């Protein structure tokens, strides 16, 4: 038995150390010296080593307790992690605001629109921290997982490194189960210290604090991550388990964005307090101009502002596009600029045949990397900016990522510069170059040109690279150079040719031996079982990206889809040919009505699946054995769907159920054809309630909504 005094001492040490940590790393208000803090921490470590049973996951000693890892494991996010669209001018913000007005007007009644319109232009504006996005999972107040954003669906588990960040609480001030999102960053002074050490050791210096933060959080040894002294700001309550009760009150999701930031602060997170409520874009612009001057004097990097419509109700109504929230946008500061000379302008051929002019530059360093090429977008942009071969030009990184030529310095001209014009023939295949037509004939043509030769090798090469990419069929070993080699040998020309490859086809090639040939053929065979969203992405349909493919799967191919149940009566999807058959039935207007798909994207999808050549390709892929993973298309036979116990019934949950968790109950409801809503209204069929029910119980009584227990819920499933 451990002496009671020892237990009390350990608990006191933990509480005191955590209080000092919070004051130092979150409030920036230290109350003791480092010597005192280190002394208390050393005593705690000794006691926990002497009495291992007293060690807990939330103990301050566990911040650097993890052993070095062999690799980072992949983790699927509870909710998709979106990226923001960028604006670089007040005019672009006004366009965004006008789009939101139009969408809101379409989504609600005229009366509701009048009441919501004032709130639509009420923004919470936060500083956009230049760091690494992190997603934190807490269960009953304890940190259980820290994950990187990854591709928005799958991230990497970096929990042990997250624990080394002193400003991130291992235990919240309230025992809640939730997910938060924030930014991990490295201070300017810490970056200087690291670079001094690296220079002394003959190692290359880190280019910027963002890269340094990303590299630090991905160290396999947590002790190295701890030595980097990372920091954090948390800015989003991503998910909150419903029905949680603290001190007799149900904890609800904050109805306003500024209240959410306050709630996160109360939980013990470090929240950047420089946010502001702005009434309209004029207020936003004032804050933008103020911080454009102040940003370089901060320890953390700031690359713009983030605008969020303050009302969560409006946020929910506006929702998301295929890749970004409509209710939020990043207002980016002007990026780092530099000058260079355009040596030449070359055309880049994309997978859809679109020709993009690219400037070949005298190499120059910008934002921590060397740039030798920059986009010129299209011929219209070149003419508008009057950019010529031989010009001295100003370049920047659009969104700090893509190098872009923004203007020419005409005073530097010598008269030897050459005007560039779009050639009449494709530089890769000599095919005819034409102006791209927008599918909706009312809109005429776009600014883009494309190669009209369907057999252009450059187009086919880009299509194949897209098809086998990680977000598509993910064929291991089929990289860019291998694709080029196979095309040069005449072994592949289109996607279907990939699935015809045999070991004997590969062995004569320079790059292949017995083992590598066998491995590639096995990887191709393995890739034939593919998730339907990855399959749709791989097809390379114009305007259809990764997020849009998932949206189509959700809206068309899942059992909850009204298109599936009520209109087209599709029975089962398991092959590309069946996808083709289904799309042949779908009317264009139904695609146009999918919220978040977008008009041009819907038009493009409809036209792609109504092409005889594309239908032929899908049939051939089916013949070669391509089919979908069972869990990627959640569809039931029509006969099965009619037997669903809770078909078309709506539920709201409140309180703690005796035997089921919230997630388990929701899963049962959805599997049996029902829907789960978050708020009580007269249109709800059932309120499923447990102990410590909150305000939803009272409201359900007032609206005469049927209130049932877990036992009664189970009876519904038996009927």
**Which residues have a catalytic role annotated?**
128
∠ at Cα 291 (290, 295), nearest 5°?
Answer: 140
∠ at Cα 315 (277, 305), nearest 5°?
Answer: 40
Alpha helices in 489-628 (DSSP H): 495-498, 503-506, 514-527, 532-538, 546-556, 562, 576-585, 588-592, 599-608, 612-623
- CA–CA distance, 583 with 593 (Å, rounded to integer): 15
What's the half-sphere exposure (Cβ side, CA atoms, 13 Å) at 159?
17
CB of 438 closer than 8 Å to CB of 542? no
Packed helices 90-107 and 281-294: angle between N→C axes, nearest 10 degrees: 140
CB of 460 closer than 8 Å to CB of 487? yes
CA nearest neighbour of 352 among 429, 453, 441: 453
The 10 Å Cβ neighbour count of residue 434 is 15
- CA–CA distance, 57 with 76 (Å, rounded to integer): 23
- Residues 6 or more apart whose Cβ sits within 8 Å of residue 273: 265
| Chain centroid offset of residue 375 CA | 24
- CA–CA distance, 125 with 175 (Å, rounded to integer): 29
CB of 122 closer than 8 Å to CB of 184? no
Q: How many residues does the chain have?
A: 719
- CA–CA distance, 390 with 431 (Å, rounded to integer): 28
- Phi–psi pair at 535, nearest 5 degrees: -60, -50
Q: Which two tokens stand for residue 285?
A: 């612009």
- CA–CA distance, 320 with 324 (Å, rounded to integer): 6
């Amino acid at each position: 038995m451990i002496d009671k005094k020892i237990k009390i001492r350990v608990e006191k040490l933990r509480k005191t150390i955590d209080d000092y940590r919070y004051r130092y790393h979150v409030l920036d208000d230290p109350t003791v010296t480092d010597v005192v803090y280190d002394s208390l921490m050393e005593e705690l470590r000794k006691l926990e080593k002497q009495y291992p049973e007293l060690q807990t996951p939330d103990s301050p000693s566990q911040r650097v307790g993890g052993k070095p890892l062999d690799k980072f494991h992949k983790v699927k996010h509870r909710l998709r992690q979106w990226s923001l669209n960028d604006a670089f001018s007040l005019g672009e913000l006004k366009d965004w605001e006008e789009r939101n007005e139009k969408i809101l007007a379409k989504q609600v009644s005229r009366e509701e629109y009048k009441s919501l319109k004032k709130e639509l232009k009420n923004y919470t504006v936060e500083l956009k921290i230049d760091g690494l996005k992190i997603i934190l999972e807490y269960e009953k107040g304890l940190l259980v997982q820290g994950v990187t954003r990854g591709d928005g669906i799958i991230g990497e588990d970096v929990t042990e490194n997250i624990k080394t960040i002193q400003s991130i609480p291992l235990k919240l001030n309230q025992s809640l189960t939730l997910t938060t999102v924030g930014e991990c960053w490295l201070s300017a002074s810490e970056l200087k210290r690291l670079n001094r050490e690296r220079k002394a050791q003959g190692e290359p210096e880190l280019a910027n604090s963002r890269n340094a933060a990303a590299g630090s959080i991905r160290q396999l040894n947590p002790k190295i991550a701890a030595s980097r002294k990372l920091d954090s700001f948390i800015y989003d309550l991503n998910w909150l388990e419903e029905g949680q009760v603290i001190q007799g009150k149900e904890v609800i999701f904050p109805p306003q964005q500024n209240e959410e930031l306050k709630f996160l602060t109360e939980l013990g997170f470090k929240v950047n307090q420089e946010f502001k409520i702005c009434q309209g874009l004029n207020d936003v612009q004032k804050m933008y101009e103020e911080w454009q001057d102040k940003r370089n004097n901060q320890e953390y990097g700031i690359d713009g502002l983030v605008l969020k419509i303050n009302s969560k109700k409006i946020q929910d109504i506006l929702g998301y596009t295929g890749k970004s929230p409509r209710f939020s946008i990043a207002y980016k500061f002007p990026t780092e600029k530099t000058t260079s000379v355009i040596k030449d302008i070359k055309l880049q051929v994309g997978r859809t045949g679109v020709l993009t002019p690219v400037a070949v530059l005298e190499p120059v360093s910008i934002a921590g990397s060397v740039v030798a090429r920059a986009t010129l977008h299209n011929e219209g942009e070149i003419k508008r900016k009057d950019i010529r071969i031989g010009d001295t030009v100003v370049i920047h990184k659009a969104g700090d990522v893509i190098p872009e030529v923004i203007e020419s310095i005409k005073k530097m001209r010598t008269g030897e510069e050459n005007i560039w014009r779009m050639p009449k023939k494709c530089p890769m295949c000599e095919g005819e170059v034409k102006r791209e037509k927008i599918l909706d004939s009312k809109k005429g043509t776009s600014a883009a040109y494309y190669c009209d030769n369907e057999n252009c090798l450059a187009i086919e090469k880009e299509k194949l690279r897209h098809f086998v990419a990680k977000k598509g069929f993910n064929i291991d070993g089929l990289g860019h150079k291998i694709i080029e080699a196979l095309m040069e040998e005449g072994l592949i020309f289109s996607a279907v040719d990939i699935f015809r490859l045999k070991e004997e086809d590969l062995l004569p090639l320079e790059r292949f031996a017995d083992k590598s040939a066998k491995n590639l053929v096995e990887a191709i065979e393995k890739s034939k079982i593919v998730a339907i969203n990855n399959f749709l992405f791989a097809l390379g349909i114009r305007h259809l990206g990764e997020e849009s493919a998932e949206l189509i799967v959700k809206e068309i191919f899942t059992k909850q889809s009204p298109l599936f149940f009520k209109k087209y009566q599709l029975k089962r999807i398991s092959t590309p040919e069946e996808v083709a058959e289904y799309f042949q039935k779908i009317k264009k207007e139904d695609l146009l009505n999918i919220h978040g798909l977008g008009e041009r994207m819907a038009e493009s999808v409809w036209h792609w699946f109504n092409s005889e050549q594309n239908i032929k390709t899908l049939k051939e892929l089916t013949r070669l054995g391509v089919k979908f993973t069972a869990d990627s298309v959640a569809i039931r036979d029509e006969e099965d769907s009619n037997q669903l116990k809770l078909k078309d019934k709506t539920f709201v949950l409140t309180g703690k159920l005796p035997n089921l968790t919230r997630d388990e109950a929701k899963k049962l409801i959805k599997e049996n054809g029902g829907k789960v809503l978050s708020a009580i209204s007269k249109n709800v069929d059932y309120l499923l309630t447990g102990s410590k029910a909150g305000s939803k119980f009272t409201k359900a009584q007032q609206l005469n909504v049927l209130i049932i227990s877990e036992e009664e819920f189970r009876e519904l499933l038996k009927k």
